[in-house]
Amino acid sequence: MGKRKAPQPQLSPPTDDQTEPAAEAKPRALVVVESPTKARTLKKLLTRRYNVVASMGHVKDLPRSQLGVDVKNGFVPKYVVVKGKGAILKELKDAAKQATAIYMATDPDREGEAISWHLADALRPVNPDIKRIEFHEVTKDAVRRALHHPRDIDLNLVNAQQARRILDRLVGYKLSPLLWRKIRGGLSAGRVQSVAVRLVVEREREIEAFVPQEYWSLLAALRSDDQQLEARLYSKDGTRYGPPGEDGITVLRTRDEVEAIVRDLDGATFTVGEVRRKDQFRHPAPPFTTSTLQQDANRKLGYSATRTMSVAQHLYEGVDLGPEGTVGLITYMRTDSVRVAESAQREAREYVTQTYGEASVPDTPRAYRSRREAQDAHEAIRPTSVRRTPDRVKPFLRSDQYKVYRLIWERFLASQMASAIMDTLSVDINAADYLFRATGSRVKFPGFLAVYHESTDQNGEEQEGWLPDLVTGDVLTLLGLSPQQHFTQPPPQYTEASLVRAMEERGIGRPSTYAPTIETIKRRGYVRSATRRLQPTDLGVLVNDMLVEHFSDVMDYDFTATLEEELDQVEEGRIDWKKVVGDFYKPFEHDLRIAEQKIEEIEMPVVEIGEACPECGRPLVRKHGRYGEFIACSGFPECKYTRPLGIGVRCPRCQVGEVVERRSRRGRTFYGCSTYPACTFIAWDKPTDRICPRCGKHVLGIHQTARKTTLRCLDRACGYTEAVAPEPVEEPAAR
């Protein structure tokens, strides 16, 4: 199969300036999209000469009741009409019969191409004039350009999607039954999801195996005239002090070692040595890719990857902006490219010049380099027009839409701005044989920082920590020496943001799969989210260990990444999709046969919770079900008592039941009493066993936002709040 064909316009779409008598019905071209939202937007962007219909996603797929892949005859898939889509397909066929032409306008990726291919196959018998159009933003100009440059359906893209679908089906439908037989029913395995679980399990084991190491540092509080500063012990006679793990570093392991240095410094004169002042440039980050958007929205807004993508989908498909009409606010949100169209760069530079001045625009437009394996067919995620500022569109957006749009708008605009210039100062201070060092920095020229901060730092933080004006030879007054105890820290548990980053760095999955993969492993009960940190469950560890032992290829990071690269090569027409599937399946089938023979039935560990069953008196235990862990009677099946898993806090209202975690119809977590409906206590904040110190009646609950965690009284009328020390946050990936 050759390279992707260049667009071949053959059909002439109706022009937007054509008009028709209102009383006379004219034949119309049919435009097919996936979603109703996108269809509504296109209807408002196009004239009445177009009929826009939504397919509601895939109309054909592999059957759910069987494997649906003929492994003995070239892995030929058996596609069937998706349940419930028969009426939609009939509507599409009826519309196609009357259409002058059919334009497949599904999303510009493998999945969208496959949907178009299935639709074209179904509609071709009633109307063969079918073309594919592709646009990366839902705006009038972009859609008009696409209609005037239709192309054929790209079979390389279709084959790449088909290969992924078949590979995932083979793994899921072959491995899952093995888990049912060896562990318990209802479990599932997946080509990407199982590797993601492995990442979480291995990180947890790193944390469990970590042995903290104690070390100390020494701070000197000093004064110059009426200004104070802090300096840290840096070295002695050229030998550096520092934490464990760095070569050539002397580690102060005990307080006694630090106290000995304090005694050495008794009566010492603290004199300013070398003063170094220089400009340091901070460069803006590239515009968002799918991965970096999910990471930033998780760190700054507390949004899951799934929620972020759902909001971004609506922003892409179109929002009603009142007088301006309905328009897509961002470009396509599934991309791993940081490329930006020249027209968008020009608009951004003009806006920055007008708003922030010429100095805030770099001499030449910024160009960023995508990851080596990135697919460059799409642009980065950016606003379709920087003139639609967040404040301008805010009245028309939901709160979450506004927050995500603001992130995208600010990140893109900043990516086209000048670098910030930091004024940095480093001062060496001599005392006896010891060298102390103080550093400070402040913003000299804000550049892109006037718009966007990549980390979660508060605006203006760069202004803090500036040092007094010091000159070599100045004598400083010692106010005190403070020994500081430290312990090395284990690697942090994954957040959704850092797990997405780890998957991207290892080449596991692609932009379209990060969010559904994380959602799947949480839903299956392999991973739980606690205070926004991902922890493997006992079930997740058990399944992971079995798969790692018996399916080393499927669970191997490099093997999974190589398979993703081969799917990319299928998309480029360089490899036949059947070869990719066949090369994977042959060793996989062998491992499956061996595992079936070797693996004995595994009993899930039964953990008693130290409580008697209220119905029969036998011990209650923790069990794993299709929807996660729960509490059940150990006397099952004679006694069928069950209840949700509690959080270890007694119900503050009835003092009988335990507080349990529940989910609302919209998936939001809340907390209730295990004795419901006898007790109707509910709370959005996670209750603790601490009584409010202000009212003395109610307990405190853990309230989390994107930026901080607080304890607050569950009685809103009381209003008591208390700050909670933040957990260490993993730094964003270096670029």
Which residues are catalytic, by number? 332
Q: Please tell me whether residue 479 adopts helix, strand or coil conformation.
A: strand
3-state DSSP helix/strand/coil percent for the chain, to nearest 5? 35, 25, 40
Distances in Å between the alpha carbon of 337 and those of 154, 243, 378, 379?
A: 20, 38, 6, 6
Query: Longest Cα pair distance anywhere in the chain, in angstroms?
Result: 101
The count of C-alpha atoms lying within 13 angstroms of the C-alpha of 404, restricted to the half-sphere facing its C-beta, is 31
Quick one: which of 680, 523, 547 has its CA closest to 602? 547
Separation of first and last alpha carbons in the chain: 37
Q: Is 464 helix (H, G, I), strand (E, B) or coil?
A: coil
Contact 38, 318 (CB under 8 A): yes
Distance between CA atoms of 325 and 312, rounded to whole angstroms?
Answer: 19
Angle between helices 557-571 and 155-182 (to 10 degrees): 150
271 Cβ neighbours under 8 A, 6+ residues apart: 429, 430, 431, 473, 474, 475, 476
Which residues, including other chains, have CB under 8 Å from residue 640's CB and lie 6 or more apart?
633
Please name the amino acid found at residue 510: R
Helices (H), 183-289: 193-209, 255-264
* Count of other CB atoms within 10 angstroms of residue 486: 14
- Burial of residue 654, with CB atoms counted within 10 A of its CB: 0-12 exposed, 13-18 middle, 19 or more buried: middle
**Cis preceding linkage at 150, omega within 30:** no
Q: Residues with Cβ < 8 Å from 450, sequence gap 6 or more?
A: 356, 360, 417
Cβ atoms of 249 and 242 within 8 Å: the answer is yes
H-only helix segments in 318-375: 342-356
Q: What is the DSSP string of 51-111?
A: EEEE--S-SEE--SSS--EETTTTTEE--EEPTT-HHHHHHHHHHHHH-S-EEE---SSHH
Q: How many CA atoms lie within 13 A of 68 on its CB side?
A: 21
Calpha distance 31→98 (Å, rounded):
12
Beta strands at 619-625 and 628-633: parallel, antiparallel or unpaired? antiparallel
Residue 719: burial class (beta carbons within 10 Å; 0-12, 13-18, 19+): exposed
Which contacts (CB < 8 Å, 24+ apart) does range 392-395 have?
393/319, 393/321, 393/329, 395/322
* Nearest to 334, CA basis, from 379, 286, 295, 290: 290
Q: What is the DSSP letter of 546?
A: H
Rounded CA gap, 197 and 666, in Å?
25
